[in-house]
Structure 1
Amino acid sequence: MFKNSKSRFDSISDGIFAVVLTIMVLNIKVPQSVSSSSINQLIKEILIYLTSVGVVSQYWFFHQEMFNAVKKIKNHIMILNMCFLTTVSLIPFATAWLNDNLFSRITVITFALVLAVANFFQYLMFKLILSDCPQINKHDLEEKRSALIMLIGSFFYLIIGGIFPPVLLILVILSLFIRSSVAHIIRHF
């Protein structure tokens, strides 16, 4: 009689991703003047916004691939998914704080910590879903490996962001490109 609905699971997940992606643009402030400092501030905010959109989009992409073949959502996966989505919903806050204090150690560590926790929940979901799956293909293993690499990478974000905060944004951007490039290369060979 009672069972979890896959369509409602997908709907709430996609809805949260859509809201997160939408509200992050609200952190970009319209310049009050056309001075070089205002334009530099605007460029910084757009760069941080695009980086955060890239991270959230990557999470959505992984989430969609992860749950595409899952037909029945078990309670522990549903709870873990809500933990993951709750952490992802903190990215706009961390992004806004980063906009205001890009080189502050505490804001950089907070941003890196949010990403680390999201990566942790994402990896746990991959691990649990694959443990319940009767047939695992190469693509599934590659996605799980990618989630693990993202988790390990987020610990580097924390360490490097704590030591040298200005490098974090560059590191996150590079990891997005590296992750996408490696996955693309592996799929072709």
Structure 2
Amino acid sequence: MKDIKPAILLFIMFTIICGGIYPALVTGIAHALFPDQAKGSLIIDKAGKELGSNLIGQPFSAPQYLWPRPSVTAEFGYNPSASGGSNSGQTNPDYLKTVAERVKTLRESGMTGLIPTELAQASASGLDPHLSPQAARLQAARIAKARGIPETAVQKLINENTAGPQLGILGAARVNVLAVNLKLDTLTR
């Protein structure tokens, strides 16, 4: 019985420390040092309306917008509460049919040449907010035609919104789809 009391006290103490004090401290430090990231890296317009996050992809299917990587999250695409891939393998007939349909849609939109895999296959998380610069540039002609603007203006916007590898060495160059699409709307207004 004398061993139970210290065990219970340690349990309560570590629950308070690890479940309350430590998370509150880390959250406070995160909000102090990285306020935008700690709040979800939200994109907010001048009127204060939340438009989305730099960290989570959003669905765009209209021809005047940059199309993101496909999402297969549950219930609806780009659902952050149901992040995950389809778990379908490369030999799954349903998966192959889905990829073929996506490629067909891209071809029908006017895309020629090699289709980057990121435009035909969903990611593991289903939430990718970025495309490679190559995948973004392949869509410039369609976007320009739909908006009635020069393709060079779209290419310039994509180039301006291309971020290099993190710290210069981690990952690859990337283009944030939501950021480009928001700026595209300012081009034609």
Normalising by structure 1, we get a TM-score of 0.35
Q: Which has the larger radius of gyration?
A: 2
The answer to which structure, 1 or 2, has the higher relative contact order (CA under 8 A, 6+ apart) is 1
More strand per residue? 2
Normalising by structure 2, we get a TM-score of 0.35
More helix per residue? 1
